[in-house]
Structure 1
Amino acid sequence: MTRISVVDDVSLEEPTLIEGFPGVGLVGKIATDHLIDVHEMTHYANVHCDGLPPVAVYHEGETAATTPVRLYADPENDLVALRSDVPVKPGAATEVAACLGSWFDEVDLFPVFLSGLGREKGESPPDLYGIATGDGSEALARAEVAEPPESGLVSGPTGAMLAAALEDGRDAVGLVVESDPKFPDPEAARALIRGGIDPVAGIETPTDGLVEQATEIREAKQQLAEQMRAATEESTQAEPLKMFQ
């Protein structure tokens, strides 16, 4: 089954989509969750794709069950965010990528894919760089996002979606940020928003809460982070290519 079920028909023109599948440091999920909360984005659609876990999700203080992968929209900023509460198994990544890719083309979305590169934390801010397919490199140049300092690859569902964009000739951007390989990393998520998402999407997102509430965020996301470490092949992540040479 492949279906994007719209639950609130909002008006979008040529929106930028920010993808938040869980991965290293949970940077994509933390960043996307923050965007949804700060911009008060509307629950726009439920994602029904072959390959996604057949589960129902519920949230504290709410009786309504939802799908584990959902889309949220902000018409004012022409922005869509993909929120995922579950990892995608490696054998299903291609199916999910094809499902979402066909919808990207239908709605004329410009996707921004997010990935963490596992590195031990140091004193300096985490490095951030971008990769692109199609004419996505033009968006990176306008946003002044740095080029990769080394060769590498992106795996997991995000890697599958980038591969699909490359094969289909779709314009897309991938943002990679150095992230804690063991724990949820709100600081890296903030760098991802400030140095990549905001300038590429042309928006402004307050990020003070990511630092002020870093301990609470880590504790809230720790269980999911442990699940991702236990199944690294399911995790969206960037890795140096020299590991495979």
Structure 2
Amino acid sequence: MIDDISIRYTDTFTDKNLTDPILIGGLPGIGQVGKLVAEYMIHMLGAEKIGEIHSIYLPPQVIIEETGVARLPRNEIYLYRAGHRDVVFIVGDFQSTSNEGHYLMTDAYLDIAAELGIKCIYTLGGFGVGHLVYAPRVFGATNNEALKAEVIQAGVTFDRDEPGGGIVGAAGLLLGMGGMRGIDAVCLMGETSGYVVDPMSAAGVLSVLSKLIAVPVDPTQLNVRAAEMEKVVQGLLESEKNHHDEELSYIG
């Protein structure tokens, strides 16, 4: 029988004494922005997988691998040792399917942070605006007023009215629940339509995050994907404008 939430570290992860560690959360969400950024960083940095998280709060299904083999959905923990600081990533297939599960799984992520001595968390996500965005901004939120100046200097926009309605899921709960446990947290949200996987938005978030954590990541491959998406968005926007102009001409 599977536990409600199980966290299993790999046999190779034996040294849990990390150097000035931070946690980056990049779970699936709007535009898959956070997931894109975190998984890109893991790939480019060559981060090591150190654990898996299974839970009954994840969707009741299996994932079919390219080999045709089925497995349960899971979230994964990765570690990159940068020398001056260690970076822990939490990524995965899904977020919780229930309100209760969101809280319980976030609590489990914070247990991981506490166990590994993490004092600061960066959560990544998308801020859906419901329309195509040619030059996406990066919005921010934090659970500690003292962090705002540094985050703004890195290029983040803090807007009283955005994101309206708050931040749903682990990206938001890690701020609120992390604050209750004395852990600083920042959420970086890339502006996105929310309709498609958005590498343009992800590239903006990666640029800001790299400055904040002082861990350089070569953005070339992500920027290439972003440039391709930029052309698509520009074409759609022009098509939309032409269609609108045609409608006005017909009405006139």
TM range (shorter): 0.7 to 0.9
Does structure 2 conserve the Cα–Cα contact (< 8 Å) formed by 1:50 and 1:95? Answer: no
Q: What residue in structure 2 maps to residue 240 of structure 1?
A: none
Structure 1 gap ranges (5+) = 218-245
Cα distance per residue 1:68-115 (max 9 Å; x no partner)? 200111112511111111232132101101111122122122210112
Matched letter for residue 129 of structure 1: F
Q: What residue in structure 2 maps to residue 211 of structure 1?
A: 223
Does structure 2 conserve the Cα–Cα contact (< 8 Å) formed by 1:47 and 1:67? Answer: no
Q: What residue in structure 1 maps to residue 157 of structure 2?
A: 146
Matched letter for residue 95 of structure 2: P
Higher relative contact order (CA 8 A, sep 6+): 1
* Cα 1:94/1:86, change in 2 over 3 Å: same
CA RMSD of aligned residues (A): 2.9
Does structure 2 conserve the Cα–Cα contact (< 8 Å) formed by 1:57 and 1:65? Answer: yes
Q: What residue in structure 2 maps to residue 23 of structure 1?
A: 29
Q: Distance in 1 between matches of 2:89 and 2:57?
A: 20
Structure 2 gap ranges (5+) = 230-252
Larger radius of gyration: 2
Q: Distance in 2 between matches of 1:129 and 1:147?
A: 6
Among 113, 116, 119, the alignment partner of 2:126 is 116
Task: Name the count of aligned residue pairs.
Answer: 215
Indicate yes or no: 2:105 matched with 1:96.
yes
Structure 1 residues 188-227: aligned runs within 5 Å: 188-195=201-208, 197-213=209-225
Q: CA deviation at 1:216?
A: 9.5
Instruction: Give the secondary structure class of the aligned counterpart of 2:167.
Output: strand
Structure 1 residues 40-189: aligned runs within 5 Å: 40-49=46-55, 51-53=57-59, 57=63, 59-60=65-66, 68-76=74-82, 78-91=86-99, 92-109=101-118, 110-119=120-129, 120-123=131-134, 125-134=135-144, 136-137=147-148, 140=151, 143=154, 145-148=156-159, 150-151=161-162, 152=164, 153-189=166-202
* Cα 1:96/1:190, change in 2 over 3 Å: same
Q: Distance in 2 between matches of 1:23 and 1:94?
A: 16
TM-score by length of 1: 0.75
Q: Distance in 1 between matches of 2:220 and 2:133?
A: 20
